[in-house]
Amino acid sequence: MTSLTRRHLLGAASLALGASILPGAARADTIADIKKRGKVIIGIQGDNPPFGFVNTAGVQDGFDGDIGRMFAAFLGVQAEFSPLAVANRIPALTTGRVDVLFATMAMLPDRAKAVQFSKPYVANYITLTAPKATVVKTDADMGKLVIGVPRSSVQDTQITQHAPSGTTIRRFDDDAATIQAMLSGQVDAVGGNMFYVQRLDAQKPGIFEDKLEFTRLYNGACGRLGDKEMNTALNAFIDQIVANGSLVAPYQKWMKMAPPKFPASVDGVPFTVS
């Protein structure tokens, strides 16, 4: 074997090894593989109504559940759901445990380095939520509170950014645990989304309100980085349900409102594989 050939083979092997350890480089089933299997495995939040939750019949339900089933029908397969904690969503996708995420994934630049977002299909906003009797008018007022957040969530990021240095922030596994901490008095306030007051009211009506709003966000579905085929399918699906009005029914059912006008771009978050 010549030295040139040997160097060529070693170089090719190095490139192959490098590709195998790149973030998001877990083996991805193609759309053809998913169709042959007869099901698409969808990562979804397991206890965050109305986005994703398991109902009393043991069935995955909620807005993302409905959208996930619509995507499966678009592909001509069945939907199989894998309920995930907030911090486990991206690892489940990048390691190949799920094919795609419909999992309350806010479109953030840091996340776009780990997953490939689709076009947006739902809007959300992030708040500080507390009892009405708790006085909070500015970010500085958070310094006197113990604040609960779901670990690795947008709420976690926003509270950490806005609260004064030294604020006590307690991190819980998911939204349900964060809400329970508020109800049980473990925390004085929580970093929530637009549905936290509704969920808290279900247990203690009339007690809670949103104090501060930090940011308005859009959620996208997620495939693996570089997976152009899945990204193309997701965007074609979202274009279809927006254009033909199919998005209206789940939006009104779960959000109690009409879908917003979605932005053509989100800073730092590409919608398509380049």
CB atoms within 10 A of CB 144: 13
Domains 27-123+219-255 and 125-216 share a fold: yes
CA distances (Å), origin 88, targets 2, 101, 136, 152: 48, 11, 32, 9
CATH architecture of 27-123+219-255: 3-Layer(aba) Sandwich (3.40)
Q: Where are the domains of the chain?
A: 27-123+219-255, 125-216
pLDDT tier, 229 (very low <50, low <70, confident <90, very high otherwise): very high
CA distance 59 to 61: 6
pTM of the model: 0.76
The per-residue pLDDT for range 129-148, each reduced to its tens digit, is 999 999 999 999 999 999 99
What is the per-residue pLDDT across 54-67, written as a single tens digit (0 to 9) for each?
999 999 999 999 99
DSSP β-ladder status, 78-84 and 100-101:
unpaired
pLDDT digits (tens, 9 = 90+) for 83-128: 999 899 999 999 999 999 999 999 999 999 999 999 999 999 999 9
Say yes or no: domain 125-216 is CATH 3.40.190.10: yes
Query: What's the one-letter identity of residue 132?
Result: K
